[in-house]
Copies of this chain bind each other. A is one copy, B any other.
Amino acid sequence: MSVFDLDGVVQSLHTVRQQWREDQRRLLEPGGRDLPSRDALGGIVNTLKGVLFPMRLGPPDLRQESENLYIAHSLDSAMHALLAQAELELNYKRRRDDARSLTPVREDAVSRVRRFAQRLPDVRRLLDSDVLAAYHGDPAAGSVDEVLLCYPGVLAMIHHRLAHELYRLGLPLLARVLSELAHAQTGIDVHPGAQIGASFFIDHGTGVVIGETAVIGERVRVYQAVTLGAKRFPKNADGHLEKGLARHPIVEDDVVIYAGATVLGRVRLGRGAVIGGNVWLVDDVAPGAHVTQSASRDAGARVSAPKTAPADSTTTPSAVS
């Protein structure tokens, strides 16, 4: 009937889908969708931004004297919406694992969401430290409010600190969606499993990638296109990749990593170390050391003497601000 002869296309698409479902051993259960929704999680994280920073990221007509009313209602709504998504993930997981559990899914989901909510004040506290770190770390920053309003690195951390709580509470799929929402907006790709201390600052940010088992201390600063990655993927006896091994760097307090630097494997960057732009690193770095590109290029990693003031006016290449 249609000018495009779509009947055959519809039928072929059906055939391809059935093939996929058979290959994936999916039961053809009549019924609705069983996956968490990216849109729903986007709505939840937007509400939470207002809950965490009501007068700066909340609705424009909010007044300070109504903050708590707004937060109480919005948080309640967001937590119920999150509950629905958490149930979807838990159900999905049980179906895939063919798992039996003594705890009903709903009860389980309620408990996880409750614990998530209780973490929010700490999340806000950490984010305040990140905002201050950005303000103090970037001479171009005019105010703490500009930082919260504009900086992609701060947006990425809001998503990450929320996603990390979900990850710790056994909701890794929801966590991942939150991370990817930030990745799409900022070009910053932080795995929700990464552990990141207070006062963390990512400047510019595009192209930053931080892996699942990275551990980052306090007051660390990184610039665009920095990678904290894995060096190798060991295989197990079955020939499958080992999962869950600690395979990403440990970055101690007060480290600075300039743009384009790549740090791979379970290496340790000692307290106060400074890694220059474009440096390629697969070894540990001593506390306070300065690693620059020319050094690494010629000799594998020339290490300069430790300094007490890691961010002084000597050469610190590849910062832009």
Interface residues of A (CB under 8 A from B): 1-10, 12-17, 20, 24, 28-33, 35-40, 51-52, 54-56, 58, 60-77, 79-80, 92, 96, 110, 113-114, 117-118, 120-121, 124-125, 128, 139-140, 142-146, 149-152, 172-173, 176-177, 180, 183-187, 189, 191, 204, 206-207, 209-212, 224-225, 227-235, 241-243, 248, 259-260, 262, 264, 277-278, 280, 282, 293-294, 297, 300, 311-321
Q: Which of B3, B71, B316 contacts A233 (CB 8 A)?
A: B316
CB pair B16–A124 under 8 Å, yes or no, is yes
Residues of chain B with a CB closer than 8 A to A293's CB: 280
3 closest A-B pairs by beta carbon, nearest first, are A73-B73, A229-B320, A12-B121
Distance from A108 Cβ to chain B, minimum over Cβ atoms (Å): 13
Residues of chain B with a CB closer than 8 A to A6's CB: 69, 72, 75-76, 79, 117
Could you pull out 13 A-B pairs where Cβ atoms are within 8 angstroms? A7-B72, A9-B75, A13-B71, A31-B63, A33-B58, A72-B73, A150-B173, A152-B183, A229-B259, A229-B277, A230-B320, A262-B318, A294-B300
Find the B residue at minimum CB distance from A74.
B73
Residues of chain B with a CB closer than 8 A to A139's CB: 233, 241-243
Residues of chain B with a CB closer than 8 A to A124's CB: 13, 16-17
Residues of chain B with a CB closer than 8 A to A63's CB: 30-32, 80
Residues of chain B with a CB closer than 8 A to A125's CB: 16
Q: Complex formed: what's the CA distance from A130 to B231 in Å?
A: 24
